[in-house]
Structure 1
């Protein structure tokens, strides 16, 4: 047995989130949102915030760990880390960093968090400005030098080409993407926290919605939201001393394929979500197979990313996508692969994946608004089609 593993070394013992808001509608500054989510996670774990000695985040989070520690009155900050790379590809990687710090003795209680108040800062996804390339930019360097001169600037534009290639190569129909969107909206109707709670989506509404960039219609694209979410991690030895049952980290993996700079259109493997090597290492650490996974929370920047992610994590072969991706198969509690059971990014909130980790924990705890029966293994897939990407697998007490 390889001792160099995070399997069953740490557990999530508390989760917290603020109210979620539409883009620009948060009454609180982003830093206050972060504090509220952290305090809610501490309350869930039954601990004082003074017990925290580490923070981890990702996606260039603007809320500095030292400032958070000062505001919370934390006696000693022992760990702070941020996953390198933009976007939501680092969600699970940030959890891995926190877990590694605990397993390595660098910290005892680490909070992983994400806070967003996009209306208070540069609007994400607003053409070239989202990447720092405004009209006054004299030169474009790095990976973005490839697509920007041709007008492929927004994430939807850049990712649509990859998904279209995959769909053409494997004869995937638009109905597969539609099923992913319908499943998220279906689950949101039972989740009062979801921004799309009370706003169901029908096949007819989906089909009538406008194209954003083919193959993405309006309902294939994530929302933009304000809010914050956080989780509390401790060592497995301590995990049974908290109010909730432990959600053990079985495995986590992050990285990128060979020559796969972030979304580059020159990569050898073009039609990919970039999980081929990550998924292999994830399953090796977790010591489970796709058939062992009871529920999946897959990051929906766009439904096409979910399609590629699920295939690359081995839930079906690409040629089987049309049969696998149906509303019946993706719906809790009885579907073959319950997907995004809180409503996900399409219908609950676009919290850069943190709400998906929280939903994974709730499924392990048996507290989801769309609970799947006897969940022992839950997967979270982060940020498809960016690089680096990451995934994690959580397990119940039954996996020990």
Structure 2
């Protein structure tokens, strides 16, 4: 009996709400709309759904979503910790459930009013008031002024610049690429609004060395993803995006966004995920014609390229030069515009873009992706996860 997950599950449906700054409706309504859209996209009905999975941070309980949609009995439900690091792990959980027969149709969802409601980018007591040890950990850093995600990332960004000679302009090239891709994506909040490197450098400083355009958006919206067995997916209307590999990872001496006390102040947890994805799939970085890399802050995109093996330590600034991560470059990234350009839906919209690339329906299609593989990662600076999706 094979212990590999490869090829046993597939994403058969994707659905989302519009992405905005003021949705005008509850987070539960957003979740219901996205799940309904994804199930319809898969050619299924609510009677087929018997599993739901989401983030521990999602306010919408599985039973509430099921009630509102008329879903009957649930045979499987799960929640993943660590904020954006949960994104790809929701699909991993769903894939394991359908591959083992625990459930037949599992929908992964994430919905929030993160601009009109609880804004992640502002100082809040929520992070250090959590009723778990994550709150205890944060209580050490919040009184010192590290009260926002940008503040915690700025520490690592400055260290990366010190160690490897990276510059703010190197970070800016990630933002320029994302916004260029968003400009041609009608569903992106920044559709029609590309930026230049000069725009990036002129944007106001948020936490030195991070400019405004180094930081992802605050968005209202929801995204849902339907996972079924590979066999069932082949009989459904959409071209399947097969789950070739799925991994989670946490590094040594791991904290949530403040892992400053280990020898490697980078993001070694993404190295754990990368090594596991390559081991499970038998593939290598050179086999990826493109990637969707979690981009809540631009420096972490550079660090991910290194941890995942696309280039050596400290080599990412040179790797991304000259448009290498834009359409037509050697490794296009975040063809939907990413969280900097499309929307910040905790990485779930990035998974949906990976599916569109495999289907061949992206507005910024990378031709080779529809006949090969796409790498997708989840949040960095935290325990995280990743996927390889294949045609």
User: What TM-score do the two structures reach when normalised by structure 2?
Assistant: 0.95
Q: Which runs of 5+ in 1 are unaligned?
A: none
**Aligned equivalent of 1:269:** 264
Kindly report which structure 2 residues correspond to 1:283-322, keeping only aligned pairs within 5 A, or say none: 283-322=278-317
Partner Cα separation in structure 2 for residue 121 and residue 211 of structure 1: 24
Asked whether the equivalents of residues 170 and 317 of structure 2 are also in contact (C-alpha less than 8 Å), the reply is yes
Which secondary structure state, in structure 1, belongs to the residue aligned with residue 221 of structure 2? strand
How far off is 1:214 after superposition? 2.0
Q: Matched residues in 2 for 1:273 and 1:124: separation? A: 24
Match of 1:379 in 2: 375
Counterpart of 1:81 in 2: which secondary structure? strand
Q: Distance in 2 between the 1:99 and 1:37 partners?
A: 19
> Could you state the TM-score of these two structures normalised by the residue count of structure 1?
0.93
The 3-state SS of whatever aligns with 1:352 is coil
**Residue 116 of structure 1 aligns with which residue?**
112
Give the SS at the match of 1:68.
helix
8 Å contact from structure 1 (residues 344, 356) kept in 2: yes
1:132 Cα deviation from its structure 2 partner: 4.6
Is 1:59–1:88's contact at 8 Å kept on the other side of the alignment? no
In the alignment, which of 341, 345, 363 is matched to residue 339 of structure 2? 345
- Name 1:5's counterpart in structure 2: 4
3-state secondary structure, aligned to 1:147: helix
Equivalent residue runs for 1:130-279 within 5 Å: 130-133=126-129, 142-262=136-256, 263-272=258-267, 274-279=269-274
Deviations 1:213-256 (A, max 9, x none): 12211100000000000111100111111111110001111121
Describe the shift of the 1:167–1:7 C-alpha distance in structure 2 as closer, same or farther (beyond 3 A).
same
Question: Offset of 1:264 from its aligned partner?
Answer: 2.9
Per the alignment, residue 276 of structure 2 pairs with 281
What are the superposed Cα offsets for residues 122-180 of structure 1, whole Å, 9 maximum, x if unpaired?
A: 3323213241559xx9xx96211332232112111111111221222122222221110
What are the Cα deviations for residues 31-66 of structure 1, in whole angstroms up to 9, with x where unaligned?
011011011111111111221110111142111111
Counterpart in the other structure of 1:126: 122
| DSSP 3-state at the match of 1:146 | helix
Q: List runs of 5+ in structure 2 lacking aligned partners.
A: none
For residues 262-296 of structure 1, give each alpha carbon's deviation from its aligned partner in whole angstroms, at most 9, with x where no partner exists.
22322332122621222111111122100001111
In structure 2, what is the Cα distance between the partners aligned to 1:227 and 1:128?
21
Deviations 1:360-394 (A, max 9, x none): 000000000100012111011110112x1111110
Q: Is the 8 A contact 1:147 1:153 kept in 2?
A: yes
* C-alpha contact (below 8 Å) 2:182/2:190 kept by paired residues: yes
Matches within 5 A, 1:386-397: 386=382, 388-396=383-391
Whole-Å separation in 2 of the counterparts to 1:164 and 1:393: 31
Q: Distance in 2 between matches of 1:297 and 1:222?
A: 15
Give the C-alpha shift of residue 327 in structure 1.
5.3
Q: Distance in 1 between matches of 2:129 and 2:46?
A: 40
Contact 1:298 1:380 in 2 (8 A): yes
C-alpha RMSD of the superposition: 1.9
- Are the aligned partners of 1:294 and 1:378 in contact in 2 as well (CA < 8 Å)? yes
2:64 is the alignment partner of 1:63: no
